[in-house]
Amino acid sequence: MLIKGYEVVVGLEVHAELNTKTKIYCGCRNSFGLEVNTQVCPICLGMPGTLPTLNEKVVEYAIKMGHALNCKINRICKQDRKNYFYPDLPKSYQISQADIPLCENGYLDVIMEDGVKRVGVERIHIEEDAGKLLHSDKFDGSLVDFNRCGVPLIEIVSKPDMRGSAEAKAYLETVRSILKYIDISDCKMQEGSIRCDVNVSVHKPGEPFGTRCEMKNVNSFSAAVRGIDYEANRQIEVLEAGGTVTQETRRWDDQKGISVSMRSKEDAQDYRYFPEPDLLTIVVPEEKVKMLKETLPELPNAKIMRYSKSYGLSRYDASMIVDVVEKSAFFESAIEAGCKAPKLLANWVLGEISKFMNEGTAITDTKLTPEKMAELVNLISDGKISTAAGKTVFDIIVNEDRDIAEIIEEKGLAQVSDESALEAIADEVLAANEKSVSDYLSGKTNALGYLVGQCMKASKGKANPGAMKEIILRKIGG
């Protein structure tokens, strides 16, 4: 997609907090939202004389992501110190990885409306998170919460392969979805467990890439879209006015919807990376690398393709289900439990089930089971009960652990498909609506719907509408 004749080039750096039980270099709990400065110890507080020891789970989690993004795994790699001063960084250096990341040279296929876009993944490395600055009206100055210090992170760096904000958004969503399926991150944007830095440049097709700007403080996917669009337009305006884009780091202000310059390339910080002498070289046995690949679950893209291929779901519906792990798991369990109408099942998952999930109720908080859902969908699909009756049953089985057949019996919800009963109803309705019959015969086809409707009404909704329609047509000879 071009904007005013320019192509927009985007590269993304995604930071994801891993959901390991403990932090990366000490035994403190890794959890969000606990009381300030309670999940800390001398090690993550960087007290003099303390030393880090690597949590091996972090390496495993990162390798899983590496496999999911088709990366080469550097099973021998090292950790490095990134040196800079900031009050939320107690050692004044962050342990990260510089020249040899754990994973590199991968790619991710992103499903777009008009096909599949392949985005290159330059590297994935492990590092520790910093703390958080807090401000209070009661205190003149800044306070620091060190709970987040040492929370394990992976940084996923893409190649500048995306063209515009739509591809960037799809990439981010796919990355998030994978993180959730391989269960290595909680992916809670509002808790900052996934954050990104955005690199944007613009150029005319056929010309070399333009100068890029890096944007920090992008805290949601929608902010990424707004930021990329804003930044692309800003750069185009500069170029159109005859100026040049300067390489710099900018800060995205989502409230104002603008990016502002933070520092130029000349002022770029020199992090003075060097190998972390307190930690040994990481050596992951080949067997383990292989095992981690083998235990990878089916990834979201593969699921979407399978849902559309095997179950006839539209790509959109498939991706809507796959987007939420719980929905997808429920969908698959219901099929496994014998549901014969996957498309109809998908409608229920994306309709009624999504409705209560959007209100914050998990499926497991209800009495609904995949087995019952399968039974209900099959009954509707077989014409045993109407969709309306199905909704009545659904509302009951969400709240109560009851037998579906019993509910249908009790409420008298079974559809009438018995020929003679339906014929009696038809005769009655046709006799009472001679005008509509003649309307239909003179070509007003709408009248048929009216007649079927009247029959349904007379049957108190229990008639099978398809069968009813056939009988009416036969009787009036249309």
Partner 1 sequence: MKLYEYSAHELSEMLREKKISSVELTKDILSRIDEVDGRVNAYLNVDPESSLKMAENADKLISSGEAVSRLAGIPIGIKDNISTKGVPTTCASKMLENYVPVFNATVVDKLSQAGGVILGKLNMDEFAMGSSTETSYFKTTKNPFDLSCVPGGSSGGSAAAVSCGEAVIALGSDTGGSIRQPASLCGVVGLKPTYGRVSRYGLVAFASSLDQIGSFGRNAKDVALLQDEISGHDPMDATCADRKYNSLYDNLSSDISGLRIGIPKEYFGKGIKPEVAESVMNAVNGLEKLGAKIVPISLPSTDYALSAYYIIACAEASSNLARFDGVKYGYRAKDCDGLVDMYERTRSEGFGREVKRRIMLGTFVLSSGYFDAYYKKAKLLQKRIQQEFTDAFKSVYAIITPTSPSEAFKIGDRISDPLAMYAADICTVTVNIAGLPGLSVPCGYSDSGLPYGMQIIGRKFDEQTILNIGYAHELDMGGYKRPVL
Residue 50: half-sphere exposure toward Cβ, Cα within 13 Å: 16
**Choice from 3, 36, 45, 187 touching partner 1 (CB under 8 A):** 45
The residue with tokens 């669009």 is 229
Q: Min. distance of Cβ 9 from partner 1 in angstroms?
A: 26
Site residues (CB under 8 A) for partner 1, limited to 348-387: none
| Contact between 86 and 109 (Cβ < 8 Å) | no
285 part of the interface to partner 1, by CB under 8 A? no
Q: Min. distance of Cβ 356 from partner 1 in angstroms?
A: 47
The residue with tokens 């046995």 is 285
| Nearest one of 105, 100, 24, 95 to 59, comparing CA atoms | 24
Please give the C-alpha separations between residue 453 and each of 388, 433, 444, 461, in angstroms, as whole numbers.
14, 12, 16, 9
**Choice from 38, 53, 295, 361 touching partner 1 (CB under 8 A):** 53
State which residue, 280 or 405, has the beta carbon closest to partner 1: 280
The residue with tokens 């609904």 is 368
21 secondary structure, DSSP code: S
State which residue, 274 or 316, has the beta carbon closest to partner 1: 274
Q: Min. distance of Cβ 404 from partner 1 in angstroms?
A: 57
87 part of the interface to partner 1, by CB under 8 A? yes
State which residue, 87 or 449, has the beta carbon closest to partner 1: 87
The identity of residue 214, as a single letter, is: E
The identity of residue 303, as a single letter, is: K
33 part of the interface to partner 1, by CB under 8 A? no
Q: Min. distance of Cβ 26 from partner 1 in angstroms?
A: 9
274 part of the interface to partner 1, by CB under 8 A? yes
Which range of residues in 86-94, 181-189, 214-222, 434-442 is near partner 1 by CB under 8 A?
86-94
222 part of the interface to partner 1, by CB under 8 A? no
**Choice from 208, 277, 285, 443 touching partner 1 (CB under 8 A):** 277
- Calpha distance 389→237 (Å, rounded): 59
| Cα-Cα end-to-end distance for the chain | 53
56 part of the interface to partner 1, by CB under 8 A? no
State which residue, 77 or 357, has the beta carbon closest to partner 1: 77
State which residue, 134 or 280, has the beta carbon closest to partner 1: 280
| Nearest one of 155, 104, 148 to 130, comparing CA atoms | 148
Which range of residues in 10-18, 43-51, 294-302, 340-348 is near partner 1 by CB under 8 A?
43-51
> What are the helix (H) ranges across 286-368?
286-294, 300-311, 315-322, 325-336, 342-348, 354-358
The residue count for binding partner 1 (CB under 8 A) is 28
- For every residue of 156-206, DSSP letters joined together read EEE-S-EESHHHHHHHHHHHHHHHHHTT-----GGGTSEEEEEEEEEE-TT
50 part of the interface to partner 1, by CB under 8 A? yes
83 part of the interface to partner 1, by CB under 8 A? yes
Residues in the chain, overall count: 478
Give the interface with partner 1 as residue ranges (CB under 8 A): 42, 45-54, 81, 83, 85, 87, 90-93, 144, 270, 272-274, 277-280
